[in-house]
Amino acid sequence: MVLDLAPYAGLLLALAACVALAAKIGRLRHDLARASAMRETAQGAEQTATRLLRLASHELRGIGMTLHGHADRLSSPEGAAQIGVHAMGLAAASAQVLGLADELQDHTMPDIGTQSLREELVDPREVLNAAVEAAALALEPGRRHWRISVTHAPYLWADRRALRHILGRVLGDAARNTRQDDVIELRVLPHAEGLCVQVEDEGTGLASPEPVAGAQRDSRGIGLRLALARSLMLAHGGRLEVEAAAQVGTSVRLVFPATRLRDANGLPVAPQMPAMAG
């Protein structure tokens, strides 16, 4: 017996058309979802770029004021007597501009920056002292009182250049947010996770309008310097924590993981637990 499909030809054609249409709708939905994801990615990139430009503008404004101040002093009658001091100040400000350019380049290529860490055995005390000397020189003719306390200082397996950048940015912000002869305290402490470098001041707090993720309501934001320092800490598997409040000051903690701790021979060491408060 032969089945005659002629009466159903129209129905079969309609069914085939429906299947083809459903497949086309599926492809269109897939394309729409992909386009939507691409749009969200582009919007996120735009927001990141806008935030980066805003932070860069904030940093450049501060450096510009420093350059303008030294230029004004050099043009004054008593400026010639301190030309060496102002020359050092101008050189330090110029170095900040060049450093900012490098930081912006590193920040726009985070993957390259993360992969190019040159790890070696680093004494944190040596890097800390060098960072304080550089920060003090950049302040000339201004002055801050730097108090350094080291209660726990194993060596770190880290990128020495990156550590200098991190500490330079943190100390630079502390100097900018304090006044003449203010005290800035630096401590190297044991931490439950490894090692903590803490920088505290009693200044005005951080001046950037950018919020800190997870910060308390009365905390100020972080500027481009600390944003980039945070990215370098993340590259080392650590983190940068900020607490800042008006009339209280700012505390920045650099927490390095235990995997970065070494002894003088480069061998891994166990983290020392912090002492409990009595």
Q: What is the CATH number of the domain that holds 149?
A: 3.30.565.10
Q: How far apart are CA 222 and CA 217, in angstroms?
A: 14
Inside any domain, residue 8: no
Tell me, yes or no, whether 258 and 124 share the same domain: yes
Contact 95, 63 (CB under 8 A): no
Mean pLDDT by 10 residues, the chain (278 residues): 63 81 88 87 77 71 74 72 71 69 62 65 93 85 90 89 90 87 93 94 59 36 73 92 81 95 91 61
Q: How many CB atoms lie within 10 A of CB 260?
A: 20
Inside any domain, residue 273: no
Q: What is the pLDDT of residue 261?
A: 96
Give the list of residues 6+ apart from residue 265 with CB closer than 8 angstroms, or none.
none
Tell me, yes or no, whether 95 and 124 share the same domain: no
Q: Count up the domains in the chain and report the number.
A: 2
Q: What is the pLDDT of residue 154?
A: 92
Full residue range of the structural domain in which residue 53 is found = 44-108
Give the list of residues 6+ apart from residue 92 with CB closer than 8 angstroms, or none.
137, 138, 140
Q: What is the pLDDT of residue 114?
A: 46
Tell me, yes or no, whether 142 and 172 share the same domain: yes
Least Cα distance to 273 among 166, 147, 152, 108 occurs for 152
Instruction: Name residue 109's beta-bridge partners.
Output: none
Tell me, yes or no, whether 92 and 148 share the same domain: no
Q: What is the pLDDT of residue 234?
A: 92
Region of residue 237 (left: phi > 0; alpha: psi -120 to 50; beta: else): left
Inside any domain, residue 113: no
Tell me, yes or no, whether 164 and 102 share the same domain: no
Show which of 108, 127, 159 is a domain's final residue. 108
Tell me, yes or no, whether 161 and 193 share the same domain: yes
User: Can you list the pairs that 109-114 forms with residues at least 24 positions away whose Cβ atoms lie under 8 Å?
Assistant: 110/231, 113/231, 113/232, 113/235, 114/235
**Tokens at 95, concatenated:** 């170095």
> Sheet of 119-122: strands edge to edge?
119-122, 155-159, 261-262
Inside any domain, residue 20: no
Q: What is the pLDDT of residue 218?
A: 33
Tell me, yes or no, whether 122 and 258 share the same domain: yes
Tell me, yes or no, whether 84 and 134 share the same domain: no
For the whole model, what pTM was predicted?
Answer: 0.62
Q: What is the dihedral of CA 190, 195, 200, 205, to 10 degrees?
A: -140
Tell me, yes or no, whether 103 and 134 share the same domain: no
